[in-house]
Chain A
Amino acid sequence: GENVEQHPSTLSVQEGDSAVIKCTYSDSASNYFPWYKQELGKGPQLIIDIRSNVGEKKDQRIAVTLNKTAKHFSLHITETQPEDSAVYFCAASKGGSQGNLIFGKGTKLSVKP
């Protein structure tokens, strides 16, 4: 089955710096890759997603890139702010009628003012 690896497990940056989180997946049939932000005690909240027919997607300070050949995708956050501090999860899915998400282990991002 699908396996998603995520690195790093923790990341500390200064406010204003960029943060990059990387994930790899194993199943070439996966075609949908969302990123979720989870704040303490809350459910995962979708922040951006990308489908396999697209190489890059950007939404304000957040961008995701996908390399299908290498089976890896990355989250880029620019101009980080203290409120970006949270745990970020990548996930992979084959989409379609099932669409269950396989998650990475998460990255705890700390943005220091």
Chain B
Amino acid sequence: EPEVTQTPSHQVTQMGQEVILRCVPISNHLYFYWYRQILGQKVEFLVSFYNNEISEKSEIFDDQFSVERPDGSNFTLKIRSTKLEDSAMYFCASRSTPETQYFGPGTRLLVL
């Protein structure tokens, strides 16, 4: 069964450093999403991406964040200058035309 994959599984970085989180969505999916989950809290929407552009973003997704689909398979989330409060689990999700979103296993980001 196809699944969403994410790398790395864990990332530790120093405050102010740039990080890139990578996702490989399910191959025939057209819509891509990033969500985050601070420890013990609910999953929060960050950004949606369709047809090579951002279709919607939340208030969390400020100028420090960017997304890219550099080739036909990868979908990346970049945080330019990490802050302590960026520490969270980051999930990538993808879907086809029906609404069902499939989530990856997540990347746990720790900013020190």
Contact = CB atoms under 8 A, between A and B. Distances in A.
Contact of A99 (B42, B91, B101): B101
B61 to A, nearest CB: 11
Nearest to A33: B99
Contact of A89 (B43, B50, B55, B104): B43
B104 A99 contact: no
Contact of B45 (A34, A43, A51, A102): A102
- Interface size on A, as a range, is 20 to 34
Interface in B34-55: 35, 41-45, 48, 50, 55
Contacts of A99: 31, 48, 95, 99, 101
Interface residues of B, number: 24
B4 to A, nearest CB: 8
Contacts of B43: 36, 44, 89, 91, 101, 103
Interface string A43-57: 111100101000000
B48 A98 contact: yes
Contact of A95 (B55, B99, B102): B99
Contacts of B45: 100-103
B71 to A, nearest CB: 22
A54 B60 CA distance: 33
B21 to A, nearest CB: 13
Contacts of A43: 4, 91, 103-106
A44 B44 CA distance: 12
A30 B25 CA distance: 25
Contacts of B101: 34, 46, 99, 101
Interface of A: 32, 34, 36, 42-46, 49, 51, 89, 91, 93, 95, 97-106
6 contacts: A34-B99, A43-B4, A100-B33, A100-B58, A101-B33, A105-B42
